[in-house]
Amino acid sequence: MKVIELFRQLSYGELSNLSVSRSGSGEILQEKWPQILQHTNDGLLALFTRFILREKHVLIEQVAHITNYHLHPKFAESSASTAEFPYIKDMPEEPFIDDVVKILRVQSVEGWPYPLNDAGREDSLFTPQPHVLQVPRPIAGDPLSVVYQAQHPLLDDRLGGPDNVLDQIIHLPHYLENALKMYIAHKVFSHMNGQENLIKSQELLAAYEAFCRDVEQRDLVNQTTHTTHSKLEQRGFV
């Protein structure tokens, strides 16, 4: 779904009675695009942290004296940072970005899995923080393939032209599109004055929560998660 289609559906649907939607004309007032896109980013963050909708890989090269590996762009090889040990092995055409929700699993480049957060295993690795991989006994030069839950890329209202803004793609399963629209509408009404608008906002948030619980109960997400493999992993670690 593109942003233009999201705006169209919001104008005809959840925001149809508001001036922001030109009273249900199928468009969103251009001066309101930044606000609606901010609400959309908030909604995508809520959904992509609640559900594992996107998995990505990153390669870490162990350093003998480092036990805590922070998944942050400043430790990426492609970055221009002054980090002494750029242990994240990414590539300029596929730079590692700050999109980690949490670490899901770790394996060797040959595919052997490591136990995570298992104090009873000597070979266990740990995740003391969502963005930190702890390796109690690092082996210098040995690569680790880290699979993590990733956020949705941010939508931007400053892309140099209306068409560029409207053509941005929202990568969301169809069954969660209604939940996103409910969340956006909830945020819109929550910023409006009046008891009636507050009640409407709360109703939309309750509907959003009910929709998400239904998705969880039906276990729909496990059928649509996709994993992004880096070129480094496809070519073999160098």
Instruction: Summarize pLDDT for 187-204 with one digit per residue, the tens.
Output: 999 999 999 999 999 999
Q: Is residue 131 helix, strand or coil?
A: coil
The domain spans of the chain are: 3-51+163-223, 54-151
Per the prediction, the chain carries an average pLDDT of 91
Give pLDDT, residue 237: 46
Give pLDDT, residue 191: 93
Give pLDDT, residue 238: 40
Helix and strand numbers (H, E) in the chain are 6, 8
Q: How far is CA 208 from CA 6, 87, 163, in A?
A: 16, 40, 30
Give pLDDT, residue 101: 97
Give pLDDT, residue 160: 81
Residue 141: is it exposed, middle or buried by C-beta count within 10 angstroms (0-12/13-18/19+)?
exposed
Q: Which stretches in the chain have pLDDT values below 50?
A: 224-228, 230, 232-238
The pair of three-digit structure tokens given for residue 181, joined into one six-digit string: 């629209």
Give pLDDT, residue 223: 54
